Structure 1
Amino acid sequence: MLKVYTCIATQHDLRLVALAAVIWATHFIAMLAFQPAVPSGYNIALTIMSLLAAIALTGTGLTIGISPRVPHGRWVGGAIVGGGIAVMHYTGMAAFEIAGRVVWDVPLVAASIILGGLFGAAALPVALHANTVKWKSLGALVLTVAICSHHFTAMAAAAIMPDPRIVISATALPADWMAAGVALVSILIILLAIIGLALDVRDLRRAGEAARMQEMADAAVEGLIVCNETEIVAANRSFAALACVDGSKPAGRPLASFFPTVSQGEFTGTAQTPLEVGLCATDGSTVPVELIRHSILYAGKQHQVLAVRDIRGRKRAEEEIHFLAHHDPLTKLPNRTSFNEKLEAEFTTHRGAERCLAVLFLDLDRFKEINELFGHLIGDAVLQCVAEKIRGILKPGQMVVPGRRRVRCDCPRSAERGLCDAHC
């Protein structure tokens, strides 16, 4: 420990040591802080090799550390990062040319490697313990301790024996030039970090806005999709439940896969004007929907928002209203209006044609006795049964219509109207 203290206190510029710890260019600046009493320089190739080795091993360690498939990956990855520190340092020391010989203290060399490995192994678990500034800062502090403890222990393990016969090579980089290069690279890294931080903040802001838009869209009852000219970019839950019955996601799928009968021109022409189309769901069924288009600016680009309204309920109501307008509510047979339309159409078709047209009148005998003996509910059931039997023997183009012959009778309905129809 005395040798380590002496190395730090007497052989290093403490101002550069502090700078190395603050800006995290620890190895290179700490090497510049080392001031031996003999001429020195740096081999360019080996210096670059030490940098590349540090990048490669650190990247490998971080990749293993965040991988869930590696058992105890954080500790293993941190240990690899610590090993990278040792490789970088001793490769850098090999690049350090000096007018003398370097004699290594083997126990201190081993201690430096162990310190770097242990603190490096602890750095990743601490930094990845939680996604908060507190734990990330603690992890960075532990990694700084790993680098500093390794560096200064390793430097204390090196004893320089001056030898004037050893001449520094002409290609060796002077310490002043090395300092300028490290300063420029450090400033560039800091600038890139600031730019990356600004981009991250912008992306987080956009992600927050997108999340709020998604929450608002999911609260809508109608289906909403954001699309470009051919592809769905985003969709809310209502549209996913309507179109993706199999649980798949609509985003990223072609617009034509859901609306195969709608052309691009129709999409661009539906602004503020409802367009009734068929939505092809993922289970093969077709759902009648109504589309309304709006143009918006999404992610900095022009997109279309389609409001997709399920109109199956409305269609059923329209069909029911149409059915009731043209059919008898009791027997479900066509009513007098349908009969008149059919008869007029048949007259028009048969005029001038040598074909016959027949209209038959059928009477249900003793129906009044059924109502009087068994009640109107049984009478209605008889009418429904007769209507079903007649409907079953009709040929295409033939029609049966319940009559409305007015007769006088003694049923309760005649007390209200004075007359009732043949259903009685």
Structure 2
Amino acid sequence: MYRVLTCLTTEHDWRLVVLAGTICWLASAVAISLFHRARASSGRTRAVWIGLDAAVGGCGIWATHFVAMLAYDPGANAGYSISITSLSLVFAITIVAIGLCIALSSARQSVIALGGAVIGGGVAAMHYTGMAALELPAFIVWSPGIVAASIVFGSLFAAMALLVAVRRDNPVHTVAATGLLTVAIVSHHFTAMGAVTLVPDPTLGSDGLSISPTALSFLTAVAAFALLGLSLLASMIDRRAKSELHQQKVLLDTALDNMSQGLSMFDADGRILLYNDRYAEMMGRTGIDLQGRLLLDVLRQQKALGRWDGDPDQFVASVIAEARAGNSVTRTVSRNGRSIRVVDQPMKGGGWVATFEDITEWQAVQEQISHMARHDALTNLPNRTLFREQLEKALRLVRRSDQLAVLCLDLDHFKDINDSLGHPVGDALLREVARRLGECVTEHDTVARLGGDEFAIVQFCSDCEPSAVAMLASHVVEKVSAPYEIAGHQLVIGVSIGISLAPEDGKNPDELLKKADLALYRAKEDGRGTYRFFETGMDARAQARRLLELDLRAALQRGEFEVYYQPIRDVAKDVVVAFEALVRWNHSLRGMISPVNFIPLAEETGLIVPLGDWVLRQACMDAAGWSQDVGVAVNLSPVQFKNLNLVASVKDALSASGLPAHRLELEITESVLLQNTEATLSVLHELRGFGVKISLDDFGTGYSSLSYLRSFPFDKIKIDRSFVSELATREDSMAIVRAVTGLGKSLGIVTTAEGVETDAQFDLLRQEGCTQAQGYLFSRPRPAADVENMLIQPRQRLIA
């Protein structure tokens, strides 16, 4: 070491030593910068960067050596062999290129260090080749130990320089790597110069192909300027590349930081190459150093912290295998109560890109949409779609010893409540019914709302008696029929139930529902508020009803309907004052069909509207031709009041027939007023406005008849036949008739008693002051052709 220091302090010109160090530093800085560029690129671009880096590094080593040799004073005139000097430059560039190729061939530190050591060997090869080019009258004697030390210094510091450079591309690591590479070159040169001992020999001299120190100074200056030029060019290229790279990095970072998705990129070994903060946040990996780490190590760390379930080795091996196979994989994981969809997309050359999307809200929306599509919005019960699915599932699970029943439910009188009190009350009532139905069944059963006031139940009973279905139906009737307290109203409804059983009545949903519907219809026919099981004959009755409906639709076109008339007599004068128009159906094949059989069917199917219009027009036409100006009464169905053209139909009938409006009397029932009080009263006032009389039929049978008399000034009230029939035998019936007739007198309203069949009834009505009477005592309903006879002949004393 003392020999090296002595050589450096006494045999060198310090000014040129500093210059050599400056050139070395500049060349090292550019070489490290170009090494970073080469490492960040691939293919042909990497080869270009390696070539430029080798040229700059080799020239820097060569210039450093010969500038330092100019600073060396050997004590005699010296020259330099041109060929060997040139060869030293070739050695420097070539070996540096080999070292760079080795260092960039792998990411392993041992390979990088080997590449750096080769570069250090290149420094040594250049130096000792350059020293062999020295020509002076003296022998050079080398100190082997110092020579070995110089080679070790160069290789060691060069290896360290590349290891520091690959750790991170930032100013701190770049300056440190530049300093280490400079130290590698300078320490080797001056240590090697310390190994030199000159032994004078006048016989030695130049061979004629040598170059003088002056010429060498010029060449070195040229080489230095070339180095500076290359350095400047490389610096400009590097600056431009760094600027473009920085812009791309800024754009990439901005895009990554503003993504709603998490993103990470992995190499073929599962090492994290790139990720954004959203990824770390979503996967619970904030506060963990992820860059450059193996995914396997990260997952093992998380498992140790209790943040990962499963086997990290198995998971990572599976992901890498899928990526190598080129398969795109989608999976859903749960993190911190959130659902995250992960998509692994393989990359060319190995590795994969993983995207992470929080789908918690999306899943909730999808579940809500699915729930809404399969459940009733009002009651949250399964709707028809889900009910059918669950029925199919129950049918698949049923065994020979099991019992499955389908119960179709229809609420009785719900429509009247919904129309009179409004939809909010009706909706609240449906929700309460749904709650009560839920209390009637077990967890094995299903309650559904099929629409409107229709509900259904699937009862699944394992190894139980058939009577269990009847017990359930009875319990439902009792539970639903109990009074309700809704919005200050006490409401009472009933329920009718039709029941079909599997497999006796069917083995598929459609068949079971159809037969339960038939049984439901039978329960309604039998008085409502009860349940009926399906029976074989029900299908035949339903078929007959469908045929009757088809005939009913065609009856108007075939002209099968007739209008019959029953007289209404003035009690005091005992004369006919009006006729009630009653429709009759004279079927071409089946003969006369009772109104009891076809009027309810016409109301259910809506055919009552065209049929009622026809009766109205025909009655007006008939009445206009009568010899006396008596009135004609026409019944209006509640269904007709839903028709917006009702007023226009009445006007058209009067206009077409020429019948004065005061001779037309329209009879309505309380159920008409239950529909929509304000709208109904508006129509009634409009009809009254152009002279038509309005009569309230079946008075006394409803619970709010008196309130109707106060809400609308009726021209007539008709006492229901149920009171008249027991007039002579029951005091309460007599009291009701007396009250109604007294009410009529007080309000100035005509009272008409229906169903008068005996002289005793007629005499009592006369005594109580009843205004009018009609019934079999006077005449049965008869065709229009008999009206004139009924007008002129006295009443017949017939007892029904």
State TM-score, norm by structure 1: 0.52
> Which protein shows a greater Rg?
2
Partner Cα separation in structure 1 for residue 193 and residue 99 of structure 2: 24
- 3-state SS of the aligned residue for 2:211? coil
Find out whether 1:7 has 2:7 as its counterpart: yes
- 3-state SS of the aligned residue for 1:36? coil
**8 Å CA contact 2:117, 2:156 repeated in 1:** yes
**8 Å CA contact 1:62, 1:77 repeated in 2:** yes
Partner Cα separation in structure 1 for residue 9 and residue 105 of structure 2: 41
Structure 1, residues 214-273: CA drift from partner, whole Å, max 9, x if none? 8999999xxxxxxxxxxxxxxxxxxxxxxxxx9799xxxxxxxxxxxxxxxxxxxxxxxx
One-letter identity of the residue aligned with 1:3: R
Q: Which residue of 1 aligns with 2:230?
A: 192
How far does residue 366 in structure 1 lie from its aligned partner after superposition? Answer: 5.5
- 3-state SS of the aligned residue for 2:141? strand
* Residues 50-65 of structure 1 mapped to structure 2, 5 A cutoff: 50-65=88-103
One-letter identity of the residue aligned with 1:13: D
Distance of aligned partners of 1:106 and 1:366 in 2 relative to their CA distance in 1, 3 Å threshold: farther
One-letter identity of the residue aligned with 2:222: L
Distance of aligned partners of 1:126 and 1:216 in 2 relative to their CA distance in 1, 3 Å threshold: closer
How far does residue 365 in structure 1 lie from its aligned partner after superposition? Answer: 6.8
Distance of aligned partners of 1:202 and 1:108 in 2 relative to their CA distance in 1, 3 Å threshold: closer
Q: Which residue of 2 aligns with 1:173?
A: 211
One-letter identity of the residue aligned with 2:147: V
Q: Which residue of 1 aligns with 2:644?
A: 416
Q: 2:134 aligns with which of 96, 102, 113?
A: 96
Structure 1, residues 307-332: CA drift from partner, whole Å, max 9, x if none? xxxxxxxxxxxxxxxxxxxxxxxxxx
Distance of aligned partners of 1:193 and 1:45 in 2 relative to their CA distance in 1, 3 Å threshold: same
Partner Cα separation in structure 2 for residue 161 and residue 47 of structure 1: 22
Structure 1, residues 168-197: CA drift from partner, whole Å, max 9, x if none? 121101111111111122122212322332
Q: 2:68 aligns with which of 18, 30, 54?
A: 30
Partner Cα separation in structure 1 for residue 641 and residue 140 of structure 2: 123
Partner Cα separation in structure 2 for residue 18 and residue 35 of structure 1: 16
One-letter identity of the residue aligned with 1:5: L
Partner Cα separation in structure 2 for residue 160 and residue 413 of structure 1: 133
How far does residue 119 in structure 1 lie from its aligned partner after superposition? Answer: 1.6
How far does residue 19 in structure 1 lie from its aligned partner after superposition? Answer: 0.8
Structure 1, residues 386-412: CA drift from partner, whole Å, max 9, x if none? xxxxxxxxxxxxxxxxxxxxxx99757
One-letter identity of the residue aligned with 1:415: N
**8 Å CA contact 1:47, 1:92 repeated in 2:** yes
Partner Cα separation in structure 1 for residue 140 and residue 551 of structure 2: 128
Partner Cα separation in structure 1 for residue 109 and residue 240 of structure 2: 35
Partner Cα separation in structure 1 for residue 226 and residue 131 of structure 2: 25
* Residues 68-87 of structure 1 mapped to structure 2, 5 A cutoff: 68=106, 72-87=110-125
**8 Å CA contact 1:50, 1:92 repeated in 2:** yes
* Residues 113-132 of structure 1 mapped to structure 2, 5 A cutoff: 113-132=151-170
Partner Cα separation in structure 2 for residue 412 and residue 32 of structure 1: 123
One-letter identity of the residue aligned with 1:38: A
Distance of aligned partners of 1:371 and 1:182 in 2 relative to their CA distance in 1, 3 Å threshold: farther
Aligned residues: 252
Distance of aligned partners of 1:138 and 1:212 in 2 relative to their CA distance in 1, 3 Å threshold: closer
Q: Which has the higher contact order (CA 8 A, sep 6+)?
A: 1
Structure 1, residues 270-308: CA drift from partner, whole Å, max 9, x if none? xxxxxxxxxxxxxxxxxxxxxxxxxxxxxxxxxxxxxxx
How far does residue 128 in structure 1 lie from its aligned partner after superposition? Answer: 2.3
- 3-state SS of the aligned residue for 1:128? helix
Distance of aligned partners of 1:202 and 1:411 in 2 relative to their CA distance in 1, 3 Å threshold: farther
How far does residue 146 in structure 1 lie from its aligned partner after superposition? Answer: 1.5
State TM-score, norm by structure 2: 0.29
One-letter identity of the residue aligned with 1:104: W
How far does residue 26 in structure 1 lie from its aligned partner after superposition? Answer: 2.1
Q: Which residue of 2 aligns with 1:329?
A: none
Distance of aligned partners of 1:96 and 1:417 in 2 relative to their CA distance in 1, 3 Å threshold: farther
Find out whether 1:149 has 2:377 as its counterpart: no
Distance of aligned partners of 1:182 and 1:215 in 2 relative to their CA distance in 1, 3 Å threshold: same
How far does residue 66 in structure 1 lie from its aligned partner after superposition? Answer: 2.9
Distance of aligned partners of 1:210 and 1:14 in 2 relative to their CA distance in 1, 3 Å threshold: closer
Q: Which residue of 1 aligns with 2:702?
A: none
Partner Cα separation in structure 2 for residue 86 and residue 18 of structure 1: 20
Q: Which residue of 2 aligns with 1:138?
A: 176
Partner Cα separation in structure 2 for residue 207 and residue 71 of structure 1: 25
Partner Cα separation in structure 2 for residue 50 and residue 115 of structure 1: 19
Percent of aligned pairs with the same amino acid: 36
Partner Cα separation in structure 2 for residue 176 and residue 412 of structure 1: 126
Partner Cα separation in structure 2 for residue 370 and residue 12 of structure 1: 127
**8 Å CA contact 1:128, 1:136 repeated in 2:** no
- 3-state SS of the aligned residue for 1:139? helix
Distance of aligned partners of 1:124 and 1:69 in 2 relative to their CA distance in 1, 3 Å threshold: closer
- 3-state SS of the aligned residue for 1:101? strand
Note the aligned Cα RMSD (angstroms).
3.8
Structure 1, residues 7-31: CA drift from partner, whole Å, max 9, x if none? 1111111111111111114222112
**8 Å CA contact 2:106, 2:112 repeated in 1:** no
How far does residue 129 in structure 1 lie from its aligned partner after superposition? Answer: 2.2
- 3-state SS of the aligned residue for 1:103? strand
* Residues 233-252 of structure 1 mapped to structure 2, 5 A cutoff: none
Structure 1, residues 31-89: CA drift from partner, whole Å, max 9, x if none? 22111111211111111111111112212222222332556122111111111111111
Distance of aligned partners of 1:411 and 1:138 in 2 relative to their CA distance in 1, 3 Å threshold: same
Extract unaligned runs of 5+ from structure 2: 25-62, 260-343, 348-549, 554-598, 608-635, 650-800
Partner Cα separation in structure 2 for residue 187 and residue 412 of structure 1: 110
Distance of aligned partners of 1:21 and 1:411 in 2 relative to their CA distance in 1, 3 Å threshold: farther
- 3-state SS of the aligned residue for 2:76? coil
Extract unaligned runs of 5+ from structure 1: 221-245, 250-363, 377-407
Partner Cα separation in structure 1 for residue 148 and residue 99 of structure 2: 21
Distance of aligned partners of 1:203 and 1:82 in 2 relative to their CA distance in 1, 3 Å threshold: closer
Distance of aligned partners of 1:369 and 1:4 in 2 relative to their CA distance in 1, 3 Å threshold: farther
Find out whether 1:17 has 2:17 as its counterpart: yes
Q: 1:46 aligns with which of 84, 91, 101?
A: 84
Partner Cα separation in structure 2 for residue 413 and residue 51 of structure 1: 113
* Residues 19-418 of structure 1 mapped to structure 2, 5 A cutoff: 19-24=19-24, 25-68=63-106, 72-207=110-245, 372-373=603-604, 411=639, 415-417=643-645
Partner Cα separation in structure 2 for residue 210 and residue 69 of structure 1: 24
Structure 1, residues 315-350: CA drift from partner, whole Å, max 9, x if none? xxxxxxxxxxxxxxxxxxxxxxxxxxxxxxxxxxxx
Q: Which residue of 1 aligns with 2:776?
A: none
